């Protein structure tokens, strides 16, 4: 009925790691933040489930896909008006709406007094909405709101 794993033991090691991270952050001269899809997911930007059905139930019913990610590929096979309608809504929801949870704001609060740089594959603009300086960002896969794609061009790094 009860598990044999000690909760105190498992949470204890997690708390130890958090303390180590706090110490390292406090002592660091500079911080590089690497972020991918999991960070936006933890902030509430999920591409399936309730959030998908809330905003895309009409597409799900009409075209049979069940998440925003695969929907992006699916609509490319359809008439341009459908594809544009899907992508316009997707970009509005995933770039211009705020994330439901303050994960990005908390991260930026942690590094506000540190020399820092953000390297992210996320295209949702969450770091800038949380106060990150765009000169300290590199969106490796672009940003939904920028027609040029990247938040910082590679040639500016050299």
The CATH number of the domain covering residues in 29-44+100-157: 3.40.50.1220
* Cα dihedral sign, 124-142-78-84: positive
pLDDT in tens, 111-154: 999 999 999 998 899 999 999 998 999 988 877 777 554 443 33
Overall average pLDDT of the 78-86 stretch: 95
Residue (of 95, 54, 96, 91) closest to 75 by Cα position: 91
- Of the candidates 34, 37, 36, the one whose C-alpha atom is nearest the C-alpha of residue 116 is 34
pLDDT on residue 105: 96
SS (H, E, C) 74-107: HHHHCCHHHHHHHHHHHHHHHHHCCCCCCHHHHH
pTM passes above 0.85:
no
User: Given a cut of 90, is residue 64 above it in pLDDT?
Assistant: yes
Domain ranges of the chain: 29-44+100-157, 49-96
User: pLDDT tens digits for 30-62?
Assistant: 999 999 989 999 999 999 999 999 999 999 999
Separation CA 31–CA 4 (nearest Å): 39
Contact 103, 115 (CB under 8 A): no
Q: Check pLDDT > 60 for residue 14.
A: yes
- Residue 157: pLDDT over 70: no
Q: For residue 95, count other CB atoms closer than 10 A to its CB.
A: 18
């Amino acid at each position: 009925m009860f598990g044999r794993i000690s909760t105190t033991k498992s949470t204890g090691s997690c708390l130890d790691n958090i303390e180590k991270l706090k110490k390292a952050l406090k002592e660091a001269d500079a911080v590089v933040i690497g972020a991918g899809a999991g960070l936006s997911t933890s902030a509430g930007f999920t591409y399936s489930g309730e959030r998908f059905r809330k905003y895309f139930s009409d597409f799900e019913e009409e075209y049979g896909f069940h998440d925003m990610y695969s929907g992006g590929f699916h609509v490319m096979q359809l008439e341009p008006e459908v594809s544009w309608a899907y992508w316009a809504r997707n970009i509005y929801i995933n770039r211009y709406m705020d994330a439901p949870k303050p994960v990005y704001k908390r991260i930026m609060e942690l590094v506000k007094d540190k020399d820092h740089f953000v390297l992210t594959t996320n295209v949702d603009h969450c770091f800038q909405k949380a106060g990150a300086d765009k000169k300290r960002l590199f969106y490796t896969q672009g940003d939904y709101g920028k027609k040029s794609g990247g938040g910082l061009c590679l040639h500016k790094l050299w």
